[in-house]
Structure 1
Amino acid sequence: MQNDERKRLPPITSHLLALAVCGLAVAICLPLRDLLELTNIAMLLLVIVVFIAATLGRSEAILASFVSVAAFDFFFVTPHLSFLVSDVQYLVTFAVMLAVSLITSHLTTRLQASAREALARERRSHALYALAKALAGAMSIEQVVERVGAFVREQADGDARFFLTDTAQALHEFPPPGVPLGLDESIAIRAVFQSDVADRSCCIANPNGLDMMFPLGGAMRRHGVLFVRAGAGGRPALRPMLEGIASLTAIALERLRFVDIAEASRLETEAERLRSSILSSISHDIRTPLTVLFGQADSLTLAGGHVTDEERDAARAIRDQAGRLNQMVEKLLDMARLQAGQVRLRKEWQAIDEVIGASIQMLDNALREHPVKVTLAPDLPLVAVDAVLMERVFFNLIENAAKYSPAGAPIAVVVAGEAEGLVVEVRDCGPGFPPASLPRLFELFERGVAESAIAGVGLGLAICRAVVEAHGGRISASNLADGGACVRFTLPSAGEPPRIEPELTDAAGVGS
């Protein structure tokens, strides 16, 4: 409600006041009855009607019009103190006076109403502008909700409630509700949120007032629904203003969402840049002393009799640990180069079994207690890969399978052909991946078990993903139904592989 409406007098009081003003005007004009013409007295009474219309309202002005005409006839037209008319022409005067009074009161009240409406629109415009400025400076959803709720209470005499979406696009009231809504309101809110029509707002009348719901739709997504209970005095005329409030709220929520996305992207970029710098600097600075340490320890293990058995065992342990640390540094270097884009693939047509065999040979010590079974589909085509990088992929996958499998457990490498290329699976008989870590297994420094006695820094699978994706393939991890883990990746075919002609043999069976 507007301030002017709150100050209006009760109807009975205002009508009695109109009668009192008419009586006062008649009392003032009575002493002038013999001094002024009747037309002048009629004009004075018309002025009183206009004054009442401008100050009290239309119905009071209509009442004053009839009372003024009756008082003019009773007190000023002969015979006095009687409603009898001595001259029929006075009837025309009465009719014209009444018509002029009614028309004047009507125009005056319309002018007053228009002025009040224009003033109310101006106040709402200033208030909306102030709200827009306040929302532009809001730094959180809590501030948006607080400022919009205060605006609705002040300007619409209502109560605002917000139903916003979470990351899964499910509606939840924010902040948590004090009094839950009824079933009808909840259904209406969900319908407004999901509706695809142009005007998706909704109004519901209830004994406590008028419920209005407005969607909070941004440029990229819907953020929720604004629910306003306008109270017993709520009117549909408030709807345009509330639609503007909903639009401003949606813009503010959209801005906050983009700010969060930009900040997260900036932090992620900074973290990746810092991580790459650390990887590059540490790996290069550590590689040289590690090589020296490995060489010195290896020399001690091969030394003659002047080295005791205990010293030789200690040197052998130092050499093995230095070699393991050197492998970690190699992984750091590989990851740093892959992330920096400094690695160019040198693709050549390769037989996949030869690449697997080279990787298994490099893992001679690690596979001492794990038999590896390689299963190849018949007639596998050659595949265009960078053999060095692909050997690193098989090396990391088979090494991981060996580290996380119990002693004596076999490791299976299965290669099958598809229309798009080759599909490779590396399976083990270990405990499998923790289900919670499956979505993050291929990220940097991510390990299946964070606290584990098994050595590693969580780079092997990240390197595998980078190499496979550089070849245009995809990689994923899963747990087998009968136990164990499985890493599966694809290598797409790139063109038509060359044909391998069989060797010709002479009569003695010797190749030419």
Structure 2
Amino acid sequence: MQSDERKRLPPTTSHLLALAACGLAVSICLPLRDVLEPTNIAMLLLVTIVFIAARLGRSPAILASFVTVAAFNFFFVPPHVSFLVSDVQYLVTFAVMLAVSLIISHLTTRLQASASEALARERRSHALYALAKALAGAISIDQVVERVGAFVREQADGDARLFLTDTAQALHEFPHPGAPLGLDESIAVRAVFQSDAGDGSCCIASPNGRDMMFPLAGATHRHGVLFVRAGACSQPDLLLPMLDGVASLAAIALERLHFVEIAEASRLETEAERLRSSILSSISHDIRTPLTVLFGQADSLTLAGSHLTDEERDAARAIRDQAGRLNKMVDNLLDMARLQAGQVRLRKEWQAIDEVVGASIRMLDDALREHPVKVTLPPELPLVAVDAVLMERVFCNLIENAAKYSPAGAPIAVNVVGNADGLVIEVCDRGPGFPPGSLPRLFELFERGAAESPIAGVGLGLAICRAIVEAHGGQIGASNPADGGACVRFTLPSGGEPPRIEPELADPAGVGS
């Protein structure tokens, strides 16, 4: 507080007060001139210099140093009331007294300045601690912006604006845009945001004051830039460390809110997925029994022979086909529910992948009636440890999808490549391909490439494929080749060292013939 009062005093007032303090000291010491030695009088006058330096500053203390030396010579050194000196040794006393006064003035003002700076740092530290507590309790970005702005107004006498990124990593002022920035300021904000790790802060002078920019760098990515406009009389060297700390606290708060948002979305998605799986499992079991009865009755009617007319037989056949399709959908629902619940245990055995592919193609005889399938297998493919039943399901789903979305007569390609880690398998068609925006979500539950597609399906086939492939330790993905069509690619790890097949020994005696 003392330093603040001293700074508020005009220079003229400070110097007049210093002269008044010197006069008061001289008037107090005059009655003691015949009692104390001149050296003791000098000590009392030096105390006055210390008081003036501590209260009024360096410049008034320097003035007081010269005034007290002159007053000491005029009033206390014989001959009195004269600047003449009876003893030349007093010149040394005057020089030492002046030097000591100036040194005391310098040291006292430096000590006072250090104490004031320490108090200012303490106040800033307390303010930063209070800001950290406030930001730790912030539950929205609006609260972060509001509290950072209030801190900058109170501690730096400036105006704070936060430029944050959106989902496309574009910078926008939050919560609402203020006065547009100038060209130089906009370029500086963008440069600070795109700067490398480390000190990316920036300080530029503008007609409205001094602009300072600090990156809001979180643990995972940068959330934006803190823009502070301070007054023209501000001292950037003092403000930069404090505002850099404010930017760090704001970045931590934004990072926490980002992770809270992600965790909440994940929790809601998990709960929705669990509820959906429970509903699917319960409904599927309840529907399966009547569907089986309906399919059996319709199949019996189609085999009734002459007891039905042609129209009745066609109707029974249509009922049987639709019931079979619905029964297949229910099977997919049950399989997906079991896979998600972890109730399916893999029965891995060493299999030749060409046999699994062939069995899958034979199961799809009706669906592939208008689509030739070309299987490319290199010679001497290694065996893989897979559950043959589940892997046939993967091939059936992928090949059937390729047939459904390809025009009649378009070929379907199944390519198998072996490497040191296992097998890489591709199923490609010559259809329209996947919609570009759907690729990241293709393997989610109930996700279809085209939402309004006239082709029958509920969006479970690819989700089942992903669950089975991942259960085998592989990975699956989809793409649109440059030459057209769609392609699904998945990997199967080798699963260890396959068993060695010993060659049959020749029977020279012909016993086994």
Match of 1:116 in 2: 116
CA drift at 1:467: 1.9
Relative distance call for 1:33 and 1:341 in structure 2 (3 A) is closer
Equivalent in 164, 188, 192 of residue 189 of structure 1? 192
CA distance in 2, matches of 1:161, 1:437: 37
User: 2:368·2:403 contact (CA, 8 Å) conserved in 1?
Assistant: yes
User: 2:159·2:230 contact (CA, 8 Å) conserved in 1?
Assistant: yes
User: 2:131·2:151 contact (CA, 8 Å) conserved in 1?
Assistant: yes
CA drift at 1:409: 3.5
Letter in structure 2 aligned against 1:282: I
User: 1:2·1:120 contact (CA, 8 Å) conserved in 2?
Assistant: no
CA drift at 1:60: 0.4
CA distance in 2, matches of 1:135, 1:352: 58
Letter in structure 1 aligned against 2:188: E
More off after superposition, 293-302 vs 181-190: 181-190
Match of 2:400 in 1: 399
Letter in structure 1 aligned against 2:171: H
Letter in structure 1 aligned against 2:254: L
Match of 2:57 in 1: 57
Match of 2:319 in 1: 318
Match of 2:146 in 1: 146
For the residue of structure 2 that corresponds to 1:365, the secondary structure is: coil
Match of 2:181 in 1: 179
Relative distance call for 1:482 and 1:204 in structure 2 (3 A) is closer
Relative distance call for 1:107 and 1:468 in structure 2 (3 A) is closer
Match of 2:18 in 1: 18
Relative distance call for 1:65 and 1:317 in structure 2 (3 A) is same
Relative distance call for 1:489 and 1:503 in structure 2 (3 A) is farther
For the residue of structure 1 that corresponds to 2:346, the secondary structure is: coil
Point out where structure 1 has 5 or more consecutive residues left out of the alignment. Answer: none
CA drift at 1:457: 0.8
Deviations 1:186-230 (A, max 9, x none): 586257x3146xxx3656564766665555555555555555555
Letter in structure 1 aligned against 2:67: V
Relative distance call for 1:432 and 1:115 in structure 2 (3 A) is closer
Match of 1:389 in 2: 390
CA drift at 1:166: 6.3
Relative distance call for 1:61 and 1:185 in structure 2 (3 A) is same
User: 1:163·1:226 contact (CA, 8 Å) conserved in 2?
Assistant: yes
CA drift at 1:309: 5.0
Letter in structure 1 aligned against 2:238: A
User: 1:30·1:75 contact (CA, 8 Å) conserved in 2?
Assistant: no
CA distance in 1, matches of 2:95, 2:399: 110
CA distance in 2, matches of 1:23, 1:278: 97
CA drift at 1:281: 1.8
CA distance in 2, matches of 1:114, 1:421: 71
User: 1:480·1:486 contact (CA, 8 Å) conserved in 2?
Assistant: yes
CA drift at 1:447: 0.6
User: 1:29·1:41 contact (CA, 8 Å) conserved in 2?
Assistant: no
Relative distance call for 1:361 and 1:111 in structure 2 (3 A) is closer
Letter in structure 2 aligned against 1:325: L
CA drift at 1:393: 1.4
Relative distance call for 1:367 and 1:505 in structure 2 (3 A) is farther
For the residue of structure 1 that corresponds to 2:8, the secondary structure is: coil
More off after superposition, 260-269 vs 412-421: 412-421
CA drift at 1:343: 1.7
CA drift at 1:456: 0.7
Match of 1:457 in 2: 458
CA distance in 1, matches of 2:89, 2:380: 122
User: 2:2·2:55 contact (CA, 8 Å) conserved in 1?
Assistant: no
CA distance in 2, matches of 1:187, 1:488: 40
CA drift at 1:134: 0.8
Instruction: Kindly indicate whether residue 266 of structure 2 is the aligned counterpart of residue 265 of structure 1.
Output: yes
For the residue of structure 2 that corresponds to 1:476, the secondary structure is: strand
Relative distance call for 1:185 and 1:13 in structure 2 (3 A) is farther
User: 2:6·2:57 contact (CA, 8 Å) conserved in 1?
Assistant: no
More off after superposition, 11-20 vs 79-88: 79-88
Match of 1:427 in 2: 428
Letter in structure 2 aligned against 1:392: R
CA distance in 2, matches of 1:434, 1:65: 88
User: 2:350·2:386 contact (CA, 8 Å) conserved in 1?
Assistant: yes
CA drift at 1:462: 1.4
Relative distance call for 1:238 and 1:432 in structure 2 (3 A) is closer
For the residue of structure 1 that corresponds to 2:444, the secondary structure is: coil
User: 1:171·1:224 contact (CA, 8 Å) conserved in 2?
Assistant: no
Instruction: Kindly indicate whether residue 133 of structure 2 is the aligned counterpart of residue 130 of structure 1.
Output: no
Match of 2:480 in 1: 479
Match of 2:470 in 1: 469
Relative distance call for 1:454 and 1:5 in structure 2 (3 A) is farther
CA distance in 2, matches of 1:468, 1:227: 50
Match of 2:443 in 1: 442
CA drift at 1:45: 5.3
User: 2:3·2:116 contact (CA, 8 Å) conserved in 1?
Assistant: no
Q: Give the TM-score of the pair, scaled to structure 2.
A: 0.81
User: 2:425·2:490 contact (CA, 8 Å) conserved in 1?
Assistant: yes
Letter in structure 2 aligned against 1:185: A
Relative distance call for 1:326 and 1:450 in structure 2 (3 A) is same
CA distance in 1, matches of 2:331, 2:475: 23
Point out where structure 2 has 5 or more consecutive residues left out of the alignment. Answer: none
For the residue of structure 2 that corresponds to 1:488, the secondary structure is: strand
CA distance in 1, matches of 2:307, 2:375: 46
Match of 2:252 in 1: 251
- Aligned alpha-carbon RMSD (Å): 4.1
Deviations 1:70-110 (A, max 9, x none): 34544676666643345657656655654554455445434
User: 1:188·1:202 contact (CA, 8 Å) conserved in 2?
Assistant: no
Instruction: Kindly indicate whether residue 362 of structure 2 is the aligned counterpart of residue 361 of structure 1.
Output: yes
CA drift at 1:328: 0.6
CA distance in 2, matches of 1:59, 1:333: 90
The count of aligned residue pairs is: 504
CA distance in 1, matches of 2:281, 2:80: 114
Alignment of 1:219-234 (within 5 A): 219=219, 226=226, 228=228, 230-232=230-232, 233-234=234-235
More off after superposition, 335-344 vs 442-451: 335-344
Alignment of 1:237-248 (within 5 A): 237-248=238-249
Relative distance call for 1:476 and 1:205 in structure 2 (3 A) is closer
User: 2:383·2:498 contact (CA, 8 Å) conserved in 1?
Assistant: no
Relative distance call for 1:31 and 1:4 in structure 2 (3 A) is closer
